[in-house]
Every structure is written in C-alpha cells, then in structure tokens.
Structure 1
Amino acid sequence: MSVEDVRAAAERLAGKVVRTPVLRSPALDALAGAELWLKAECLQRIGAFKARGALHAVGRMSPETRSRGVITYSSGNHAQAVALAAREFGVPATIAMPVDAPAVKVAGVRALGAEIVFAGTTSDERRAAALAVQERTGGAIVDPFDDPDIIAGQGTATLELVEEALARGSKLDAIVVPVGGGGLIAGACLVAEAADIAVYSAEPGTCNALAQSLRAGARVPVPPGPTLADGLRPVRVGEQNFDIARRAVRGSFEVDDDALGRALVALLLHAKVLVEPSGAAGLAAALSGALRGRRVGVLLSGGNVEPALVAALIGRHAGAV
C-alpha cells in the first residue's frame, strides 16, 4: 500500500465524510512547547474517524455481498461507523460489542438501526461472536482495522491534516496518532512516508500492543489492562497495520489515565472541543513535552464520551491545566 491508495480513498469518500477542521490553540502550544495542529475527528460523522474506513470498505463491496448484511466487532466507534455505512447502503448490520461498552456508544449503534450482540470484554471474544453471526447469516465482516480499504479510508484524515497545514504555511515535523488496532496509524504512515514526516504512536501504558510489538520486531499479544481509553484496548495490532507501522513509526509514547484526563480537560478548556479519552491520547503525548520545539500534527480521533466521566475529569484536572 502507498499514499496513492489513500488519495484514491479520498476521492471515493468525497461528499460522504466531513473534512473536519484543523484547530490551533496558543494556550495548548504553550503547554506542549510545540506548534500543535489538531485534527478534530471528534467532529466527524458518528463522532470519530472510524466513519472514513467503514464507509470506504462497505462502499467497495459488491452490491451482492452487501445485500447479505454487514457484521463487525468493536468497542464502540467502529461499531457506529459500520452501522452508519449499513444504513447509507440500505443493508442490515450486526455488531459484536463488549459487555462493558460505554452506554453512549451502545445508544449510538442502536440509533443507527444495527443489531447488537454483546460478547465478553476483549477483541478476541468480540471477533469470535462476529464469526458466529457470519456462519449463521452469510454476512460480510468489516474488519475494524486489519484491511486495506479500512487503512486507506482512515488515512484520509492524515491526508487532510497535512494538506491543511501546508495550505496555512506549516510543514509538519511529526504526527502523533492514538493506537488501538492500528488502522489510523497505518493510514497515517502511508501519508507521512510520502511527505517525510515522522510518525509517533500514543497508547495507554496498560494496553501498549504496538509499542511492545515494535520493540520485539513482531506482533505481540497484550492482554488489555484497565484504562479510560476504551477504544485503545485490542489484544494485538493488525498484521497489515504492523507491517506498515514498523517501517515508518519513529517512536512510541505511553500515556496513563491522569495524562489522558488532563489532555481531555485542557482541550475542552482551551480549544473548546470535547474528545473521549481515546481521542485525547495523541494530545496527552504532545503535552508531555517530548516533542518540544516541533510542528506537530495531533489526531483527535473521537469524541464519544459519557457526560458523567467528563464532569468527573473536569473536577479532577481543571486546576492543573
């Protein structure tokens, strides 16, 4: 795969997804000691970048394949994205979600008309449930991240970010990407390789499958530990995603719940934008000061968060940001 696959996906997605804004905040720049360019995918359809990959992948299916229905497994944002794509194409969708999925994401899937099957707490358990549905119905599985059409679709967010920064007179030095299964960072790497931009991953320290895999030189399964970032809890990164990331990712940042909470609140207070903890991971890494003095693109990957959690985090961190 290359940046040309991403550019082709962007053409197919024109008019189907939002070209989300790229935000600048002097206050956040000061906190990070860097020039931050914030790609607000929290303002994307269904509130997350996942709409890009799902609409692209389902749109690339043959009408006959789509007609049997689409199936996926997800903690929430990809679930909503596939439900949206199914509604757009007028086909049924069945989604395997974890039993502890955030209520706001469950409600979003149901509002889009998809059927939900609850299955365990890990991505492996959800995948097994999705395969059981496929065996029963013959529907097509839309992989959450390990698929070329998904990777190319997700890469369009980074393509827009790089284009927007250039149009406003800034050549990015680095891009920081939240990582779960790796679809977003794989797409980012395809764009960044062509533009000579360094890519860095941001993961919870308790769910750092990509960081461990990069250190090992091969994919390493990591049982997900506790984290506020419910969207960044895969057992392992995708095979295709890892093959792309290993050639382009320059380093990995690990962020804890305090850093995620502070980043979420800082973004809300200083840029007036709300993200979910997973969506704050890239900003949390940037606010650590590790990229001081550089021009940094930050992917704010999603904004589907429980109001009660936001209130609790504001109470905990507002005085520190």
Structure 2
Amino acid sequence: MTDRPMYIPTFEDMLAAHDRVRPHIHRTPVLTSSHLNALAGCEMFFKCENLQKAGAFKVRGASNAVFGLSDEQASKGVATHSSGNHALSLAYAAGQRGIPCNVVMPHTAPQAKKDAVRGYGGIITECEPSTTSREAVFAEVQAKTGSDFVHPYNDPRVIAGQGTCSRELLEQMEDFGGAPDIVMAPIGGGGMISGTCLTLSNLAPEVKIIAAEPEQADDAARSFRAGYIIADDAPETVADGLKVPLKDLTWQFVSKHVSDILTASEQEIIDAMLLTWKRMKIVIEPSSAVPLATILKNPDVFAGKRVGVILTGGNVDLMRLPWMAQ
C-alpha cells in the first residue's frame, strides 16, 4: 500500500469540494434542544450528519474523492479500509458514479454497517480488529485491484470534503443569532476535526475547536498533550468509529488548531446517546454522542457558551443497542 505524498489541503480545496459534492449530499439540518441546553448550562446547536446520505458525514469526503477522479482513474474503482462509515460512504459514492468499490472491514464491525456497504454495491474483505491487520489486508486487496486508495481520513480530498460540514454550520448559525463560540466533533483518525480546522481557521478563526474522544481510545488526547502522535493499535470502545489513530496529515491540523481534546467514559457515552434519542427523537450512533458526553462532564468549560456540535453519524444495529446489554 502506497500513501500519497503529503499535500495539505487548502481553503480553496474545501470550496471546490463543496461545489463538487453538493449534488450528492444533503445540506443537513441544525437542531436544538432546550432540555439539553438546561442540563448542559450552554446553548448547543447540533449539525445532524446522522441524517446525511449514507447516514454519516463521511459521504462528504468520499464523494469529493470519487467525483474528483479522472475517467481513467475511476475505471479501476476505489478501495479503502474502514470500521464502517467511511466504507459505506465510499461504496455509496462509487455506486453513484458507477465504479467498483473494495473495502476492508474488521470482522467486529457492526452488522448494520456491513449490510449498508453491500447494499451500496461494495465488496467487503474482512480483517482482524486492529490497525495493523486492516492495513496489511488492504495492501493485498489494492495490489490485486489497482484501485485508487481513498484513505478514511489521512487524505487531502477527504479532509477538504469534511470541511464542507462546518462551512454549512456557520452559514446555518446565522439563523440562530450568529457564530458559535466553540465547535465540537468526535475525534478518531481526525478527518472531521481536520476539515473543521481547515474551514474555521479561514472563516471564523476566533471560534474554538474542541475534540471529544472515548477514555478507552484516548490516543489523540495523549498525542495532543505529548506533542507527537501516540497510536494505539486496537482499543476497545463502544464508539466503534473512533478506534483509529491520528496520522501525519490530520496531525498537522490537530496540533495547530485544536484548543483541547476532552474524554468521556463508556457509560457517559452510552448515557449521552440514550439522552439524545429520548429528548431529540433522532438516531445517533455512539461516536456521535461523545461530544455531548464531554460537554455534560465539563460544565465549567462550556458554561454560557454557544456550542456547535457535529453529530457525525446514525448508523447503528437496532437489535444490539449499547444499553440493551445493561
């Protein structure tokens, strides 16, 4: 598997990505909850990427990569490794363009996400639930297919695509009285946070960017404090979309533009997910609940602030919800 030479995407790349992906994505709504605001002691504005095409924000970056290929490149298809949302988003985008999509997924990935990948026409090769296994199995798949590698997050095309989410959020916040003080999103490999950094550092540099991470997969938080990348190979957390480590490209954004990375326990994540389902009547997956969990855990940080919260996805196995095990 050969990574591309590192190219740091620009604000102009994000603008071009937005023009490219608009026909293939939803402009997702921003919702509020007076009950959750009262609990948190701040005003929260939820950007609902759980209502996005393919059920996750990752369709933005995937669509930018797929529709940015030349016809010659596209003829060989695309390929990736992913725990779920990037896999199904890339399969969706590839299906829209009519090209093949091969994905390597951990055998432990939620069945709902595997079903979605296959439903969009993706071809799955399973691997062990570790970064090492994912990358090794993927190298074999790519060697056989010659497909264009669309990395789940360490890809400038993907980061530029993810940056379109916070651009929309800023525009939509005008209907709620102006810009937020803080924007929050979950962090795993850092694709969404990097896109958020790319957009906000240009459009609203005064807005703080805070990332949220599970305590049991806190390598980004430890990296942030250490000043260099610390990569865990196979962390265990209910937030299955946040198990992967930062890479060199996403670290460029995280290290320069993120104000803090806060963490939440497994129980706090599950409680925040259930609370969102109950009070907002929307389906979010565990990874999407991590920002709310950290807000509720750190009231002094957010007291009186206007906080944009990116709900990154809503792909869950309805027969295996985390509170069912309790």
TM range (shorter): over 0.9
Deviation at 1:170, TM superposition (A): 2.5
Cα deviation 1:243-262 (Å, max 9, x = unaligned): 11111100111111111111
Cα deviation 1:42-64 (Å, max 9, x = unaligned): 00011000100000011111111
1:296 paired residue number: 307
Q: Which moved more, 1:270-279 or 1:163-172?
A: 163-172
2:46 paired residue number: 38
Cα deviation 1:264-292 (Å, max 9, x = unaligned): 11111111111000111112112222312
Confirm whether residue 175 of structure 1 aligns to residue 183 of structure 2.
yes
Deviation at 1:307, TM superposition (A): 1.2
2:288 paired residue number: 279
Instruction: Give identity over the alignment, percent.
Output: 38
Alignment of 1:48-87 (within 5 A): 48-87=56-95
Q: Which amino acid aligns with 1:121?
A: P
Alignment of 1:10-21 (within 5 A): 10-21=18-29
SS of 1:206's partner is: helix
Deviation at 1:5, TM superposition (A): 2.4
Query: C-alpha distance in 2, partners of 1:232/1:216?
Result: 19
Aligned-pair Cα RMSD in Å: 1.4
Cα deviation 1:293-318 (Å, max 9, x = unaligned): 110000100001111333x52796xx
- The two structures have a TM-score, normalised by structure 2, of 0.93
Q: Determine which of 128, 151, 176 is the counterpart of 2:136.
A: 128
Q: Which amino acid aligns with 2:318?
A: P
Query: C-alpha distance in 1, partners of 2:25/2:132?
Result: 29
Confirm whether residue 198 of structure 1 aligns to residue 217 of structure 2.
no
Q: Which amino acid aligns with 1:296?
A: V
Unpaired runs of 5+ residues, structure 2, are: 1-8
SS of 1:28's partner is: helix
SS of 1:96's partner is: strand
Query: C-alpha distance in 1, partners of 2:92/2:238?
Result: 25
Instruction: Give the number of aligned pairs.
Output: 314
Confirm whether residue 221 of structure 1 aligns to residue 231 of structure 2.
yes
Deviation at 1:3, TM superposition (A): 3.0
SS of 2:240's partner is: coil
Do the aligned residues in 1 keep the contact of 2:91 with 2:121 (CA within 8 Å)? Answer: yes
SS of 1:95's partner is: strand
Do the aligned residues in 1 keep the contact of 2:131 with 2:233 (CA within 8 Å)? Answer: no
Deviation at 1:167, TM superposition (A): 3.4
- The two structures have a TM-score, normalised by structure 1, of 0.94
Cα deviation 1:129-166 (Å, max 9, x = unaligned): 11111111211111100011100101111111111112
Q: Which amino acid aligns with 1:242?
A: W
Alignment of 1:86-101 (within 5 A): 86-101=94-109
1:109 paired residue number: 117
Query: C-alpha distance in 2, partners of 1:190/1:275?
Result: 25
Confirm whether residue 253 of structure 1 aligns to residue 262 of structure 2.
yes
Unpaired runs of 5+ residues, structure 1, are: 317-321
